[in-house]
Amino acid sequence: MTDRTVLVAGVGNIFLGDDGFGVETVRRLSAHPLPAGVEVVDVGVRGVDLAYRLLDGYRTAVLVDATCRGGTPGTVYLIEADVEQPLEVPVLDGHRMGPDAVLALLATLAAGTGTEPPGRVLVVGCEPASLEEGIGLSEPVAAALEEAVRVVLRVVEEAAQPEKETTPC
Residues 6+ apart with CB under 8 A from 3: 36, 37
Per-residue pLDDT tens for 14-64? 999 999 999 999 999 989 999 988 989 988 887 777 777 878 888 898 999
Put simply, whether the predicted model's pTM sits higher than 0.85 gets the answer no
**Domain residue limits at 139:** 6-159
We report the CATH number of the domain holding residue 75 as 3.40.50.1450
pLDDT over threshold 90, residue 124: yes
pLDDT over threshold 50, residue 1: no
Higher pLDDT, 4 or 131: 131
Q: Is residue 36 part of a domain?
A: yes
Q: Is residue 21 part of a domain?
A: yes
Q: Is residue 140 part of a domain?
A: yes
Q: Is residue 166 part of a domain?
A: no
Per-residue pLDDT tens for 100-112? 666 666 666 666 6
Q: Is residue 38 part of a domain?
A: yes
Domains of the chain: total: 1
Per-residue pLDDT tens for 67-113? 999 999 999 999 988 755 544 444 444 445 566 666 666 666 666 66
> According to DSSP H, which parts of 54-144 are helical?
99-113, 139-143
